[in-house]
Amino acid sequence: MTKSEAKKRIEKLKKVIAHHRYLYHVLDKQEISPDALDSLKHELYLLEQKYPEFITPDSPTQRVGGKPLDKFEKVRHSVPMLSIEDIFSEDELRDWVEYLKKLAPGEKIDFFCELKIDGFAITLIYKNGVFVKGATRGDGRVGEDVTQNLKTIESIPLSLSLHHPLPLEMKDIEERLKKLIKKGEIEIRGEVYMTKKDFEKFNKERERKGEPTFSNPRNLAAGSIRQLDPKLAASRPLRFLAYDLITDVGQVTHSQEHKILPALGFKTDPGKECKTIDEVVDFWREVSKKRDTLPFQIDGIVVNVNNNALFQKLGVAGKSPRGVRALKFSPQQATTRILDIKLQVGRTGAITPVAFLKPVQVGGTTITRATLHNEDQIKRLGVKIGDTVIVERAGDVIPAVVKVLPELRTGKEKTFRMPRFCPVCKTKLTKPQGEVVWRCPNPNCPARKREFLHHFVSKKAFDIEGLGPKIVDQLVEENLISQPSDIFTLKEGDLIPLERFAEKSAKNLVSAIQKSKKIPLARFIYSLGIRHVGEETAINLAQYFGDIEKLKKASKEELEKIPDIGPEVADSIYKFFRSPDNIQLIENLLKVGIKIIPPEKFGTKLKGKKFVLTGTLESMTRAEAERRIRLLGGHPSSSISKETDFLVVGKNPGSKLDKAKKLGVKIITEKEFLTLIK
């Protein structure tokens, strides 16, 4: 075979293999046996080995995992990957539709419904028809580059082509797609998942090898995609289901996107167009009945406003688009027995009773424990150790004991009495007036200290790569750390002798710890674990005081001047900084080299002015606009009130605009806002 003949043969083989991939993964058809397809792939592989200059990124042979990565690169999403708000009943669905009608009076609203597959959301980017980048959702704005892992999934095409023509009324869209495949960018989103059958087979194989099994297919899919070694992802039977075409090719409705995606070579749920709410409810009930017979796990249906222009016009509320809801199934329930009730101690001393259960499958996951929240909840339910109880996963996620079945009691059940002393340090528990939670008041309680260390290294705090709760627990057990400052004095030699550590992993962790020493003031405040101080309050404190020393000296009265800080939160912050132990904690951190980065200096141009934003800004992101407001001394807020000074209106504003008009709040355009912040 000449070089020219080899090139032609390679191109033909790629087309034939891609065709059969499409038949199998999109149309569920099979024209040749898997053995025959493997034979074609092997021939292609041998030819490419002989003529490596003809290997292209879209070749089927390039799916095999490459070299392990040191870390995942960050990817900023051009369009945020927003989350979908959940609803759980027909009533909530109807309330949502009434809300949409108020936002868009006179508009005809119809819907497109599709299965909500329980998978791992990712986005795919194709340039000139070739798959070049795949990323996770991350925080919605910035995800992780997992391209190499996604290339190993057979149902993700490495190159795009139109496998069949679109309907006549979509011919303009077809022409745009053809142009973008030749020269341009196409972005597609969907879910990586695993079928129930493949998951069961995978777990059985791990069990046979004596390896730990996974609790559900979603966790396995997510864990596989976030492996640094692509060969691990390649060894697992992962699949991809597309649900969204981000690129504008002239699609008018979401249902049109579900015609485009299969034509491009993607498996997608056919879904259903629904003209009325009754049709949506019927579809939901129909799917609910057959969910257990489906090849993959689903936890509801996604109800989209079908018209894309109206969807955009409805805008975003918080982190969720207004024009879509996840209509979940009624929480799945199962009965099991309470084997024991044990207490957990949180970082603020909160004592939480936890029911240890006889393992039971609920919603596809094995449940072994469920929170009982507090003593009052135990009394209300009448729970005893040994009781048969009904357990549910609210929203298919959080396990909860919802009912006791006293008729199944044998007489051997034991009444649980809430201890009055901490189960770990034996300090007498306290219950502040008006609260339902018992607390351990001992700041040196080992359990509290351990939970505090977990909080200290969490993502919103110091975010030390490779230092999660399990490693923290290991370091505590080996007496290598007992307080946060100890983390920053760890040496490679301390770690190498430990289980799960080798020279490289020890070096990587010490390096990550050293890199984390520079921390913005807001995250430093959050890391201190002050009761009632979450991420937003920490940001407000950082912006108001500018450095930790001023915050330490703040009076209750001064603290209450800060937006969203009331008497209870102010009292908690004030008391925290009056504790010698807490002051020592901060001093110890500074001694080991923690550098607190002050917030950018504020101006006074907008001092005291309260801003609310609605719609999409064209010149900057909402986060950047809020940052600019803060830099000039203003206060961005998420809700309209009489105290609001300005409502900044972007593209496709939401209901805040109507409310601002009613309250007489000054409304300004994006152009006026830009002039204001110059």
Distances (CA, A) of 674 to 241, 351, 649: 41, 50, 12
This prediction's pTM: 0.52
What is the model's pLDDT at position 396? 46
- List, by residue range, all CATH 1.10.287.610 domains of the chain: 3-62
Contact 221, 238 (CB under 8 A): yes
Of 7, 14, 116, 666, the active-site residue reads 116
The one-letter amino acid code at 333 reads Q
Q: What is the pLDDT of residue 28?
A: 56
Residues comprising the chain, all counted: 678
How do strand 610-614 and strand 635-637 relate by DSSP bridges?
Answer: parallel
State the Cα–Cα distance between residues 153 and 150, nearest whole angstrom.
6
Mean pLDDT score, 657-673:
89
To the question of domain 85-328 being in CATH 3.30.470.30, the answer is yes
C-alpha 270/C-alpha 113 separation (Å) is: 9
What is the residue type of 113? Answer: C
Which listed CATH number (3.40.50.10190, 3.40.50.1370, 4.10.91.20, 3.40.50.2300) goes with 610-677? Answer: 3.40.50.10190
How many angstroms separate the CA atoms of 631 and 543, rounded?
9
Q: Residue 257 to residues 55, 134, 308, 438: CA-CA distances in angstroms?
A: 32, 20, 10, 53
Residues 396-417 have pLDDT tens digits of 456 888 888 888 888 999 999 9
Is the per-residue pLDDT at 66 higher than 60?
Answer: no
List every span in the chain annotated with CATH 3.30.470.30: 85-328
Q: Which of 378-382, 395-399, 663-667 has the lowest mean pLDDT?
A: 395-399
The neighbour count for residue 421, using CB atoms within 10 Å, is 11
| Confidence check: pLDDT of 134 > 50 | yes
**Residue 653 neighbours by CB under 8 Å, 6+ apart:** 315, 614, 615
Every domain range in the chain assigned CATH 3.40.50.10190: 610-677
Lowest mean pLDDT among 161-170, 257-266, 294-303, 326-335: 326-335
% of the chain beyond a pLDDT of 70: 95
Binned at pLDDT 50, 70 and 90, residue 70 comes out as low
CB-CB contact of 347 with 446 (8 Å): no
- CATH topology assigned to domain 520-597: DNA polymerase; domain 1 (1.10.150)
Q: Are strands 239-245 and 185-193 parallel, antiparallel or unpaired?
A: antiparallel
Tally of CA atoms within 13 A in the half-sphere of 129 that contains its CB:
17
Cα separation, 119 vs 220, in Å, equals: 9
Q: Among candidates 370, 352, 374, which has minimal Cα distance to 362? A: 370
Given a cut of 50, whether residue 431 has pLDDT beyond it is yes
In angstroms, the CA 346 to CA 343 distance is: 10
Cα 126–Cα 317–Cα 608 angle in degrees, nearest 5: 115
High-pLDDT (> 90) share of the chain, %: 60
Task: Report the pLDDT averaged over residues 425-450.
Answer: 92
H helices of 26-126, where? 34-50, 90-103
pLDDT of residue 34: 62
Q: How far apart are CA 240 and CA 272, in angstroms?
A: 20
Q: For the domain covering 333-410, report its CATH number.
A: 2.40.50.140
pLDDT in tens, 189-229: 999 999 999 999 999 998 888 888 887 888 889 888 988 88
Q: pLDDT (tens digit, 9 = 90+) per residue, 362-375?
A: 766 788 999 898 99
Q: CATH 1.10.150.20 residue ranges in the chain? A: 446-516, 520-597
Tokens of 120: 């791992």
Distances (CA, A) of 430 to 344, 345, 419, 442, 567: 15, 13, 11, 10, 21
- Give me the helices (H) in 141-237, please: 147-150, 171-182, 196-208, 217-225, 230-234
Write the CATH number of the domain with boundaries 3-62: 1.10.287.610
Order of all β-strands in the sheet with 666-669: 635-637, 610-614, 646-649, 666-669
> Looking at residue 65, what is its pLDDT?
47
What does R_g of the chain's alpha carbons equal in angstroms? Answer: 28
d(CA 586, CA 577): 10
**Residue 29, SS3 per DSSP:** coil
CA dihedral (255, 259, 265, 268) positive or negative: positive
Q: Please state, in angstroms and rounded to a whole number, the distance separating the CA atoms of residues 192 and 366.
A: 21
Q: How many CB atoms lie within 10 A of CB 499?
A: 6
Q: Which helix (H) or strand (E) holds 584?
A: helix 580-591
CB 357 within 8 A of CB 391: yes
pLDDT at 24: 65
At residue 599 the predicted structure's pLDDT band, cuts being 50, 70 and 90, is: confident
Residue 7 appears among annotated catalytic residues? no
Contact 140, 1 (CB under 8 A): no
**Side chain identity at 306, as an amino acid letter?**
N
**Distance between CA 561 and CA 539 in Å, rounded?**
15
Rounded CA-CA distance 569/559 in Å is: 9
Least Cα distance to 117 among 36, 189, 175, 61 occurs for 189
Q: Are strands 130-136 and 120-127 parallel, antiparallel or unpaired?
A: antiparallel
Overall CATH class of domain 446-516: mainly alpha
The one-letter code for the residue type at 474 is: Q
Q: How far apart are CA 449 and CA 37, in angstroms?
A: 58
pLDDT at res. 641: 86
pLDDT of residue 32: 74
Per residue in 495-534, pLDDT (tens digit) is: 999 988 999 999 999 999 999 999 999 999 999 999 989 8
User: Where exactly does CATH 2.40.50.140 map onto the chain?
Assistant: 333-410
The interaxial angle of helices 277-290 and 90-103, nearest 10 deg, is 150
pLDDT top residue among 627 and 209: 209
Q: Is pLDDT larger for residue 341 or for residue 222?
A: 341
Q: Which run of H or of E encompasses 76?
A: strand 74-76
Assess whether pLDDT exceeds 60 at residue 542.
Answer: yes
